[in-house]
Homo-oligomer: A and B are copies of this chain.
């Protein structure tokens, strides 16, 4: 059983007694081809079920029209919406996306990059979530002048393009509301210190408190390994403080769910006001919600990253030297409030 051959421009050319270049140009709406010829070519193409062979086109043009996307995991709704947004932008510009899930493992990431290089991707959007990654796995791409845009991660390097969320923006609003309701003892249940996401949250928390003139208390900052046990043990540390907080900022919605679930089952559902960094798609489905959930607009971040990458890729296909500059864009987070904050006595 063999695959059926698909009509090629050569065959169309033969039928019409013209050259393949003419067919190619006609099919691509090139100017400098007479309307009549163009019509005839297109007609035959249609009749013969001609389907352009992108593999051949890519090969010939030495561009794959494919961009790589590496994220930790698609089961996270955050990356799912980012993907969809990127996909939309990409397809408008006739780019395809090749996907890789790293599961936060650098080995896997390296494998994916290698695979992408085999495919000669024209550019890469990547969300690295590892501590102190030196991005070595990407140096190969750098060497080949293949543009890379980082996404959902912040680095101190000034020579890389990235788009990330400004976590502080949303948190600030949340703290503002809490303060307005009389809260000034606000704790943080952060993620593992190794995660850059944790460091970002810590920075945002510290800045947020500072801007509201709230003093930082070190025992208000606890960490969880994001397991259920870790979440609850972090929660307990706060509960057991002599002077416990009245509000808690948690690493993400899952942490909130664990904490709130336990408190609720003990009849303590109003013990703390919670603010979480949002990653669940639809709180409407949940019985219990935090006071506020910080929205990081993954779709918007994805769109921006995709647009940057496309611009960079276009520059790659041009003779002149591209201007030296770096796209580094922060998308302000926001916060969505789901409940009234109980006044503090």
* A142 nearest in chain B by CB position: B4
Tell which of A99, A264, A322 has the most Cβ of chain B within 10 Å.
A99
Looking at A12-20, A117-125, A166-174, A206-214, the stretch in contact with chain B turns out to be A117-125
- Bound Cα distance A8, B83 (Å): 33
User: Is A311 close to B, CB under 8 A?
Assistant: no
Shortest Cβ gap from A76 to chain B (Å): 9
> Are the CB atoms of B118 and A54 closer together than 8 Å?
yes
> Are the CB atoms of B53 and A120 closer together than 8 Å?
yes
User: Is A143 close to B, CB under 8 A?
Assistant: yes
The residues of B that contact A83 with a CB separation of less than 8 Å are 74
The residues of B that contact A53 with a CB separation of less than 8 Å are 118, 120
> Are the CB atoms of B59 and A3 closer together than 8 Å?
no
Chain A 291-324 per-residue mask, 1 if CB under 8 angstroms from chain B, else 0: 0000000000000000000000001101111100
* A61 nearest in chain B by CB position: B55
Shortest Cβ gap from A89 to chain B (Å): 14
* A119 nearest in chain B by CB position: B54
User: Is A81 close to B, CB under 8 A?
Assistant: yes
Given the contacts A4-B143, A84-B101, A285-B257, A120 and B54 also touching, CB distance less than 8 Å = yes
Question: How many copies of this chain does one complex carry?
Answer: 2
Contact of A59 among B1, B59, B87, B98 (CB under 8 A): B59
User: Is A97 close to B, CB under 8 A?
Assistant: yes
Chain A 118-145 per-residue mask, 1 if CB under 8 angstroms from chain B, else 0: 1110000000000000000000100111
Interface residues of A in 51-71 (CB under 8 A from B): 51-56, 58-59, 62, 64
User: Is A75 close to B, CB under 8 A?
Assistant: yes
> Are the CB atoms of A3 and B145 closer together than 8 Å?
yes
Contact of A6 among B75, B97, B144, B320 (CB under 8 A): B144
The residues of B that contact A145 with a CB separation of less than 8 Å are 1-4
User: Is A287 close to B, CB under 8 A?
Assistant: yes
User: Is A77 close to B, CB under 8 A?
Assistant: yes
* A99 nearest in chain B by CB position: B99
* A257 nearest in chain B by CB position: B285
The residues of B that contact A264 with a CB separation of less than 8 Å are 287
- Bound Cα distance A49, B114 (Å): 12
The residues of B that contact A254 with a CB separation of less than 8 Å are 285
Q: Which 6 A-B pairs have the closest CB atoms?
A: A1-B322, A54-B118, A287-B287, A257-B285, A59-B59, A75-B80
28 residue pairs of the A-B complex, CB under 8 angstroms, read A1-B315, A1-B320, A1-B322, A2-B145, A3-B144, A3-B146, A3-B316, A6-B120, A49-B143, A51-B117, A55-B55, A55-B58, A55-B120, A59-B59, A74-B80, A74-B83, A74-B84, A75-B80, A75-B81, A84-B101, A87-B101, A96-B119, A254-B285, A257-B285, A257-B286, A286-B287, A287-B287, A287-B288
Known: A49-B140, A99-B99, A286-B287. 4 other contacts (CB 8 A): A53-B118, A53-B120, A74-B74, A84-B101
**Chain A residues close to B by CB (< 8 Å):** 1-4, 6, 49, 51-56, 58-59, 62, 64, 74-75, 77, 80-81, 83-84, 87, 96-99, 101, 115, 117-120, 140, 143-146, 228, 254, 257-258, 261, 264, 281, 284-288, 315-316, 318-322
